[in-house]
Amino acid sequence: MDRNTFTGLFLIMIIMGASIYFMKPSDEAIKKEREVARQDSLKRAGVVKAPATTAKFDTAKKSAVVDSAVLKTAFGAATIGQEEFVTVENDELALKLSTKGGRIYSAELKKFKTAYKKPLVLFSGDKNTFGLNFSAQGKAINTNDLYFTPSAKALTVAAEDSASLTMRLSYSPTQYIDYIYSLKGTGYKLGLTIKPVGLDQVIANSGTLNLSWAASLLKQEKDIAQERQYTTVYYKNTDNEVDYLAETKDDTKSITDKKQQWVAFKQHFFSNALIAPGGINKATLTVSHDVADTTDVKQMKADLSLGRNALGDAPLIFYFGPNRYSTLKDQGYDLQKLVNLGWGPLKYINQFATLPIFNFLNKFNWNYGIIILALTVILKLVLSPLTYKSYLSMAKMRVLKPEMDEIKTKVGEDNPTLLQQEYLKLYKKAGVNPLGGCLPLLIQMPIVIAFFRFFPSLFELRGQSFLWMHDLSTYDSVITFSPIFGVSHISLMCLLMTISTLIYTYFNNQISGATGQMKYIGYITPLIFLVTLNSYPSGLNYYYFLANMLTFLQQYLIKFMVDDKKIHAQIQENKKKPEDTKKKKGGFGAKLEEMMRQQQQVQAKKK
């Protein structure tokens, strides 16, 4: 990229930025547009906005009119009733069960709070459904709309005990469906046994139960946009393969080829999972969201086909709890795979290296800011040989810079192929590998990228403070303002990270001897990171800031170990050696020379 091209691109960026800024709509116009979009989405979904004040439930009015014809239909008596609630709780969970549908109406995690210090309720209300779908006497039945009879009004389980609660949907005194919930005194699991009794002649295709489960997940974290980024439906089949729907857009998928062991509605730091040890024969999974909605993160739905015999042998299990890796692993069924540690080699780096080191440091009960510092120091010590090798290679290139400039003057810039070929000859004579400074950096890149996935998924950072950062799991907004290009705050730690990267780039250019446009290209990337990482967890930006500072310290110390005069003397000594005593060029170098030679011949023919 020559100077004119670089200047042109830079001016285009300035013009585009200025035009977007001066032509952006006002805050009132944005709010109005969002409200219109919200009303349109509600209208399409058939939702009518509720009045500001909601009337209390009127029992007399509801039960005043009873159609005798309805009572004669399948489960007709269960269509009439009054919704009541049964509270089931232990040390970790407070679950409210509704007689309408016999379902879990709301789930609260008692030991956690939202980002705004309110009770942490995963879901609550009529948007959350759980029911069996089947046909009885030619009529389509959904148990979510029918009224069950509970066996108790409230149930509190002590730490050392376990108890059960039955919700019964009656067809006749001897024919019914029981939902038997079981809860231990501690833990995040709730057992559910679905037990149809005497209904084989009533329910069509009674060997299979079709279960529909849906939930609208409530906002728990500071930044709903970031929370949505890590919220979707996960599922695991009986072959131990875990997959998930799209995280950044609405998505749906039907699975018929393999049995599923569990389905989870996973938020950023908490999950609602339904485990079926007997297997789920078929599944249709859906995730969607409304951008204008500021209270619900996403809407999840799972239509599941369950074998009735499998249910009898292995009851269903609900998990309502945190996405802490160790906690999920203790539940069994590979639930720890809900924590997305990255893809390919990144996952293995985080799982078998980063996470064990972090857990080891966590045993010392240090502040998490100190733990991140210790983790960064350990990582830099392990990678220090590569850092040294990279610095040494850049020093060799810097020493060769005057000779490269002479070649450039002699050959000229109008024949880049010949110029690169002469450079390669110089590298070969001097015994210098031009990629020596890049390869160590490329080896370190997977680790850097792995941390990019590790810190946002780390539950332990949630709500933990360090210095001015009140929560290491989200951004630290020291300055807030009206949205510009979608940005409404500045993260101080991200700003410090960017400044440290610019300083690091400056000194790296001094080491490598970079000139011309190459000097300035390195300054563009940190500015891009400033925008990209501004809304990422402050813990991640803190790690990158520490990594920059420690790398700068390493290079400062290595500088005293590397003598340019000795390097220059060694290069001159290498030049004097016969060709056959020098290190032979590998396959890549030979191919590169041959390619350049062919390009030079093509250019000569064109001339």
pLDDT tens track for 181-225: 999 888 999 999 988 888 877 776 656 778 999 999 999 998 888
Is residue 310's pLDDT more than 70?
A: no
Percent of the chain residues past pLDDT 70, beyond the cut: 72
Which H/E stretch holds residue 588? helix 587-606
CB 336 within 8 A of CB 506: no
Is residue 40's pLDDT more than 90?
A: no
pLDDT-derived band at 582, boundaries 50, 70, 90: very low
pLDDT-derived band at 48, boundaries 50, 70, 90: very low
In the chain, helix, strand, coil percent, each to 5?
45, 25, 30
pLDDT-derived band at 607, boundaries 50, 70, 90: low
Is residue 485's pLDDT more than 70?
A: no
Q: Which two tokens stand for residue 142?
A: 């959904």
Q: Which two tokens stand for residue 111?
A: 């030991």
pLDDT-derived band at 359, boundaries 50, 70, 90: very high
* Highest-scoring range by mean pLDDT, 144-153, 170-179, 258-267: 258-267
* Continuous H helices in 455-532: 492-512, 518-532
Candidate from 11-20, 55-64, 257-266 with smallest mean pLDDT = 55-64
Phi, then psi, of 305 in degrees rounded to 5: -110, 115
Average pLDDT over residues 563-592: 61
pLDDT of residue 217: 94
Query: How far is residue 590 from each of residues 60, 419, 530, 575, measured CA to CA in Å?
Result: 91, 17, 41, 19
Average pLDDT over residues 424-439: 69
Sheet holding 93-98, edge to edge: 119-124, 104-113, 93-98, 85-89, 154-156
Separation between Cα atoms, residue 558 and residue 329, nearest integer Å: 43
Amino acid 377 reads V
Strand, coil or helix: what is 364? coil
Q: Which two tokens stand for residue 205?
A: 């295709």
| Measured distance between the N- and C-terminal CA atoms of the chain, rounded to whole angstroms | 24
Q: What are the chain's domains?
A: 75-340 (2.70.98.90), 358-581 (no CATH)
Q: Which of 345, 347, 327 is nearest to 460 (CA)?
A: 327
Query: How far is residue 506 from each of residues 445, 496, 511, 532, measured CA to CA in Å?
Result: 20, 15, 9, 21
Percent of the chain residues past pLDDT 90, beyond the cut: 33
Q: Which two tokens stand for residue 230?
A: 């890590």
Is residue 592's pLDDT more than 80?
A: no
Q: E strands of 139-293, at which residues?
A: 139-142, 149-150, 154-156, 162-172, 175-184, 189-197, 208-218, 232-237, 242-244, 251-255, 260-266, 270-288
Is residue 55's pLDDT more than 80?
A: no
Separation between Cα atoms, residue 442 and residue 453, nearest integer Å: 18
**For residue 102, is it left (φ>0), alpha (ψ between -120 and 50) or beta?**
left
Average pLDDT over residues 90-106: 93
Question: Number of C-alpha atoms within 13 angstroms, CB side, residue 312?
Answer: 10
Separation between Cα atoms, residue 107 and residue 123, nearest integer Å: 6
pLDDT: which is higher, 504 or 34: 504
Mean pLDDT of the chain: 79
* Highest-scoring range by mean pLDDT, 38-42, 210-214, 424-428, 521-525: 210-214
Is residue 62's pLDDT more than 60?
A: no
| Beta-carbon contacts of residue 9 (< 8 Å; ≥ 6 apart) | 1
Q: Which two tokens stand for residue 282?
A: 């078929």
Average pLDDT over residues 66-75: 57
Is residue 98's pLDDT more than 90?
A: yes
Candidate from 32-36, 52-56, 129-133, 439-443 with smallest mean pLDDT = 52-56
Q: What is the dihedral of CA 42, 47, 51, 54, to 10 degrees?
A: -140
Angle subtended at Cα 221 by Cα 218 and Cα 224, rounded to the nearest 5 degrees: 75
pLDDT of residue 46: 43
Is residue 268's pLDDT more than 90?
A: yes
Separation between Cα atoms, residue 385 and residue 238, nearest integer Å: 44
pLDDT-derived band at 375, boundaries 50, 70, 90: very high
pLDDT of residue 401: 74
Q: Which two tokens stand for residue 349?
A: 């780096």
Q: Which two tokens stand for residue 522?
A: 């390195």
Phi, then psi, of 99 in degrees rounded to 5: -70, -20
pLDDT of residue 95: 93
* Highest-scoring range by mean pLDDT, 20-24, 534-538, 592-596: 534-538
pLDDT of residue 505: 78
Is residue 81's pLDDT more than 50?
A: yes
pLDDT-derived band at 408, boundaries 50, 70, 90: confident
Is residue 304's pLDDT more than 50?
A: yes
pLDDT-derived band at 8, boundaries 50, 70, 90: low
Q: Which of 189, 219, 216 is nearest to 118 (CA)?
A: 219
Q: Which residues pair with 302 in a beta bridge?
A: 213, 285
Task: Indicate the pTM of the whole model.
Answer: 0.76
Positive or negative, the Cα torsion across 71, 75, 77, 80?
negative
* Highest-scoring range by mean pLDDT, 365-369, 476-480, 481-485: 365-369
pLDDT of residue 532: 82
CB 436 within 8 A of CB 389: yes
* Highest-scoring range by mean pLDDT, 150-154, 267-271, 424-428, 486-490: 267-271
Which H/E stretch holds residue 438? helix 438-454
CA 126 to chain centre: 28
CB 263 within 8 A of CB 304: yes
